[in-house]
């Protein structure tokens, strides 16, 4: 038996998803109920998420993702976030959308080199019908901002921090937060953010390092203050990224994707 809150949350999320119209966001085409089951119909994306792309890249090529590719991916995600963060209601009041789960598994690269942001399922918005339980931390701990891990109020800058962590993972194939000591310690690490030593190692990344140092600032006031500002920093390095992304997806997954579409 589904709880009323879970049903309300599903409906709320489906309505929100169907209102998002951006080329870098996977759209919700329809939602409803058949018998006792609820459904949501979304675009079928032919491609692979960044998590699988990174894993295959390391297996086949022996190294993490290239800086220019990761900066292109970030640029496209930031375009989607800039759109979502700026959305207003019918009276022109900001909706205050925050994705809250920007992570490698929620960013897809298509066979044509497009980048798609998925799963606004735990998105925060002002005045939403359904709400999360007080004190419940939702999202992927590996890619949470410190304030989200502390269950504090979050705004758009939390998504920017999470994207910085996605970039770090793609470029290093390393986690900033370890899981060996259990969930509580894992969450506590996320609540503190990167250590000075971890930030110093970003200097090994000539293009992305300086960008990530700012994106991963523990204090929100020291980060990029908007997706547009963050995007302006990565855009000069994103040229040609679509063709490179398409070629890489084809190189690493061509047989699998052809089997899917056959």
Which sequence positions are flagged as catalytic?
101
Query: Exposed, middle or buried: residue 11 (CB in 10 Å: 0-12, 13-18, 19+)?
Result: middle
CB atoms within 10 A of CB 203: 11
For residues 156 and 69, give the distance between their C-alpha atoms in angstroms, rounded to a whole number: 24
Q: Say how many residues make up the chain.
A: 262
């Amino acid at each position: 038996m589904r709880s009323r809150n879970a049903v309300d949350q599903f409906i709320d999320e489906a309505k929100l998803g169907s209102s998002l119209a951006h080329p870098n966001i996977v759209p919700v085409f329809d939602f409803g109920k058949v018998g006792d089951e609820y459904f949501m119909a979304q675009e079928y994306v032919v491609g692979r998420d960044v998590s699988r792309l990174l894993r295959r890249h390391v297996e086949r090529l022996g190294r993490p993702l290239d800086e220019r590719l990761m900066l292109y991916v970030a640029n496209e995600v930031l375009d989607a976030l800039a759109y979502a963060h700026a959305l207003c209601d019918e009276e022109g009041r900001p909706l205050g959308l925050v994705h809250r789960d920007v992570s490698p598994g929620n960013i897809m690269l298509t066979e044509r080199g497009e980048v798609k942001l998925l799963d606004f399922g735990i998105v925060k918005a002002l005045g939403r019908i359904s709400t999360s339980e007080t004190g419940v931390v939702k999202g992927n701990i590996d890619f949470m901002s410190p304030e989200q891990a502390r269950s504090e109020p979050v705004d758009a800058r939390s998504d920017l921090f999470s994207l910085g962590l996605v970039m770090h993972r793609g470029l290093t194939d390393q986690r900033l937060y370890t899981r060996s000591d259990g969930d509580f310690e894992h969450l506590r690490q996320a609540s503190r953010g990167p250590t000075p030593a971890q930030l110093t190692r970003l200097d090994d990344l000539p293009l992305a390092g300086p960008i990530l140092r700012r994106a991963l600032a523990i204090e929100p006031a020291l980060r990029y203050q908007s997706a547009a500002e963050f995007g302006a920093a990565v855009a000069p390095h994103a040229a040609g990224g679509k063709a490179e992304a398409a070629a890489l997806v084809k190189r690493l997954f061509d047989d699998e994707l052809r089997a899917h579409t056959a």
